[in-house]
């Protein structure tokens, strides 16, 4: 007969119950109110406030893995609720680049002053920025636990979303879009694939409606091959010169390596092409050497930076995000020991996929389930439009190849004008849309925030004709298709019916979550009573009733905190339980010492390669 466990029966029941119900109890540790951003330093006083939440969500307690997020509520709702999730690339570069320099509600005039971004993507969508993977930006983990594979990254991202939607159930039924740029061209397709696979197995499906990939690094074959095509076309290097011939030799070596070992995300033998190309553009100017900016070839930079000092806003973003009052406002955990880094060289060094597929191989499957939009800035070298257009031309999906719609006939490139100016072109076929932005860099929204938002709103199918507003003059082939801009204060156009529906859905989601939390305490309370009676009978002693306080994270505590959040915004809640890179840009890295270029990095030699973020 097996020995009896030494733990007394009732205690064993309590231990088992605590173990089984631990995950539900953990959800009660924090409510939405704990993430509320009450006062972001530098916000203009003369503007309607944007509701924000920010902080860390633990995804791996064993490795201390925490992902940081920053959420901005939409200004208006046009016919349905939408959320755009934004990630930057690197790998290892912070999505605060996207929040503070591209698509967020504010940009920095200087390190102390925020100004309104009139092209913010939160016009008709909630924005969720995530520092991904662990170790990036404000996210953190033990340094021996940085991510190595794209599949591992995607799995952790899904874990993050599970917990995010448990804390913020009111957003779990939104139409969801995932967007980003550069090495996010690897991240996002893998995340989308993981979400769709989850949806196939779960009844509580997330409404993934599409992905947007800006100047993406997706296919090594076409994109390594595009460096010299772009350089020769732009006149950066003479193809018949000694330098041009040397570069062609390096390209042949690259082709040989890719042919001998296909299916990798990056190749060391090919990375040197860009480095040598930038070296070939250096010239002396004013006593110092200059080279082209790899993210915008119209610009120059000091050699050997060649774009690492760009964009200019970065000089204000870094000190702003390291300010103690900003760190406090964003609810940064004390476990985050280092200050904000735009790009973490340690994360980038660790992220060298060996078994993951390049994202281009996932595209046919994704396109069979969701729409995809790829956009490119015409002046970017590192993830240039020629490589992107070549990979589309060579891609088979949904019964056809490239943009060929019938044998010998291709989907037209439709001219796009924005407020009377030539903005670029659109091309679409079989669930894939490609947009080229004229006179734009690696970071398209940095250059053209309002044009990029117009692109987003068209892709999401936003139509504000039923709710009023002043439409943007945006035309494709001369035709004004949708109206996508509304002026005025926050959420003035949301219909009463839409508000009621949103509150009702959020309330019932909150009831469900709160019910789970209450169930924890009911069950533990019942078991505690059994234990109490058992002890009474054993010892024959009488105990007076014990007075208990409401535990932190309980239903009442969470509701009270949410009420405080609502009152600070002047919002009256109807219910007390309603919860309220690849390539990088810039030169900031946690690596103190310079290091040679590595897999997955272009130009930004250790910190910001194929990403403008």
Is the preceding omega at residue 203 within 30 degrees of 0, hence cis? Answer: no
Check pLDDT > 50 for residue 6. Answer: no
Region 410-416 average pLDDT: 97
End-to-end alpha carbon distance in the chain: 63
Is the preceding omega at residue 311 within 30 degrees of 0, hence cis? Answer: yes
Residue, of 601 and 158, whose pLDDT is higher: 158
Distance from C-alpha of 452 to C-alpha of 449, rounded to nearest angstrom: 5
- Tokens, residue 186: 């690897």
- The neighbouring-strand residues paired with 404 are 410
Region 11-20 average pLDDT: 44
Would you tell me how many other CB atoms lie within 10 Å of the CB of residue 523? 16
380 is catalytic: yes
Q: Are 79 and 486 in contact (CB under 8 A)?
A: no
Which phi and psi angles does 395 have, rounded to 5°?
-90, 135
- Active-site entry in 219, 442, 447, 607: 442
255 is catalytic: no
How does pLDDT run across 269-303, given as a tens digit for each residue? 999 999 999 999 998 766 689 999 999 999 999 99
Check pLDDT > 50 for residue 593. Answer: no
Check pLDDT > 60 for residue 582. Answer: no
- Mean pLDDT, the chain, rounded, equals 82
SS (H, E, C) 358-413: CHHHHHHHHHCCCCEEEEEECCCCCCCHHHHHHHHHCCEECCEECCEEECCEECCC
SS (H, E, C) 96-125: HHHHHHCCCCEEEEECCEEEECCCCHHHCC
Domain boundaries, the chain: 9-27+497-569
Q: Are 195 and 206 in contact (CB under 8 A)?
A: yes
pLDDT given at position 207: 98
Q: Are 378 and 390 in contact (CB under 8 A)?
A: no
Query: 């340094």: which residue's tokens?
Result: 143
Q: How confident is the model at residue 463 (pLDDT cuts 50, 70, 90)?
A: confident
Q: Given the DSSP bridges, would you call strands 283-285 and 396-397 parallel, antiparallel or unpaired?
A: unpaired
- Active-site entry in 131, 301, 380, 562: 380
Check pLDDT > 50 for residue 572. Answer: no
Residues 533, 535, 538: CA angle, nearest 5 degrees:
110
pLDDT given at position 472: 75
pLDDT given at position 590: 42
How does pLDDT run across 373-397, given as a tens digit for each residue? 999 999 999 999 999 999 999 999 9
Residue, of 24 and 435, whose pLDDT is higher: 435
Q: How confident is the model at residue 526 (pLDDT cuts 50, 70, 90)?
A: low
How does pLDDT run across 361-376, given as a tens digit for each residue? 999 999 999 999 999 9
182 is catalytic: yes
Residue, of 565 and 226, whose pLDDT is higher: 226
Q: How confident is the model at residue 144 (pLDDT cuts 50, 70, 90)?
A: confident
* Mean pLDDT lowest among 8-12, 93-97, 106-110, 421-425: 8-12
pLDDT given at position 484: 52
State the helix-helix crossing angle for 150-167 and 184-201, rounded to 10 degrees.
60
Q: How confident is the model at residue 21 (pLDDT cuts 50, 70, 90)?
A: very low
From the list 108, 81, 89, 98, the residue with the least C-alpha distance to 171 is: 81
Residue, of 577 and 440, whose pLDDT is higher: 440
Distance from C-alpha of 315 to C-alpha of 100, rounded to nearest angstrom: 12
Region 127-137 average pLDDT: 98
pLDDT given at position 583: 52
pTM: 0.81
pLDDT given at position 559: 43
- Active-site entry in 31, 94, 120, 182: 182
Check pLDDT > 50 for residue 3. Answer: no
Which helix (H) or strand (E) segment is 526 a member of? Answer: helix 496-539
Percent of the chain with pLDDT over 90: 66
Would you tell me how many other CB atoms lie within 10 Å of the CB of residue 539? 9
Looking only at Cα atoms, what is the longest distance across the chain?
100
Distance from C-alpha of 244 to C-alpha of 239, rounded to nearest angstrom: 4
């Amino acid at each position: 007969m097996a020995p009896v466990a030494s733990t007394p029966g009732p205690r064993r029941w309590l231990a088992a119950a605590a173990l089984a119900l631990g995950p539900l109890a953990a959800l009660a540790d924090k409510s939405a109110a704990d993430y509320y951003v009450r006062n972001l330093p530098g916000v203009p006083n003369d503007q309607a406030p944007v509701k924000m939440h920010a902080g860390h969500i633990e995804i791996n307690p064993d490795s201390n893995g925490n992902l940081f997020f920053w959420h901005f509520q939409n200004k208006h709702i046009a016919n349905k609720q939408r959320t755009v999730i934004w990630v930057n690339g690197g790998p290892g570069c912070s999505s605060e680049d996207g929040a503070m320099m591209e698509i967020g509600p504010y940009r920095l005039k200087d390190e102390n002053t925020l100004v309104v971004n009139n092209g913010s993507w939160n016009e008709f969508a909630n924005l969720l920025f995530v520092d991904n993977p662990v170790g990036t930006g404000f996210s953190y983990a033990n340094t021996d636990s940085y991510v190595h594979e794209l599949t591992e990254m995607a799995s952790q991202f899904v874990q993050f979303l599970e917990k995010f939607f448990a804390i913020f159930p009111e957003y779990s039924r939104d139409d969801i879009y995932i967007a980003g740029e550069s090495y996010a061209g690897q991240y996002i397709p893998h995340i989308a694939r993981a979400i769709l696979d989850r949806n196939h197995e779960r009844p509580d499906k997330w409404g993934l409606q599409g992905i947007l990939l800006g100047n993406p690094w997706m296919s090594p074959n076409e994109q390594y091959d595009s460096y010299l095509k772009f350089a020769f076309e732009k006149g950066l290097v003479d193809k018949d010169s000694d330098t041009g011939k040397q570069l062609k030799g390096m390209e042949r070596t690259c082709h040989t390596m890719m042919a001998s070992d296909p299916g990798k995300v990056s190749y060391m033998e090919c990375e040197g092409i860009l480095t040598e190309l930038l070296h070939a553009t250096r010239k002396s100017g004013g006593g110092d050497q200059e080279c082209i900016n790899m993210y915008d070839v119209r610009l120059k930079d000091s050699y050997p930076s060649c774009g690492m000092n760009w964009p200019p806003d970065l000089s204000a973003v870094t000190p702003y995000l390291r300010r103690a009052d900003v760190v406090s406002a964003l609810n940064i955990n004390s476990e985050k020991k280092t200050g904000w880094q735009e790009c973490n060289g340690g994360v980038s060094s660790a992220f060298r996929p060996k078994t993951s597929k390049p994202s281009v191989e996932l595209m046919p499957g994704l396109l069979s389930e969701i729409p995809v939009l790829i956009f490119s800035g015409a002046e970017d070298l590192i993830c240039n439009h020629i490589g992107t257009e070549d990979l589309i031309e060579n891609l088979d999906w949904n019964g056809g190849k490239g943009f060929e719609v019938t044998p010998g006939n291709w989907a037209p490139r439709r001219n796009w004008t924005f407020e009377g100016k030539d903005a670029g072109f659109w091309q679409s076929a079989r669930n894939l849309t490609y947009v080229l932005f004229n006179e734009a860099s690696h970071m398209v929204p940095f250059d053209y925030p309002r044009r990029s938002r117009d692109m987003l709103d068209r892709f999401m199918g936003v139509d504000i004709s039923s709710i009023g507003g002043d439409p943007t003059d945006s035309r494709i082939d001369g035709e004004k298709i949708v109206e996508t801009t509304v002026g005025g204060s926050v959420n003035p156009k949301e219909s009463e019916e839409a508000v009621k529906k949103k509150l009702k859905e959020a309330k019932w989601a909150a009831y469900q979550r709160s019910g789970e939390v209450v169930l924890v305490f009911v069950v533990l309370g019942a078991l505690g009573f059994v234990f109490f009676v058992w002890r009474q009978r054993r010892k024959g002693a009488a105990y007076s009733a014990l007075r208990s306080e409401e535990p932190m994270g309980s239903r009442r505590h969470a509701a009270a905190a949410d009420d405080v959040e609502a009152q600070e915004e002047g919002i009256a809640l109807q219910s007390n339980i309603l919860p309220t890179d690849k390539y990088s840009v810039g030169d900031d890295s946690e690596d103190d010492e310079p290091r040679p270029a590595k897999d997955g990095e272009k130009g930004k030699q250790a910190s910001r390669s194929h990403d403008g973020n």
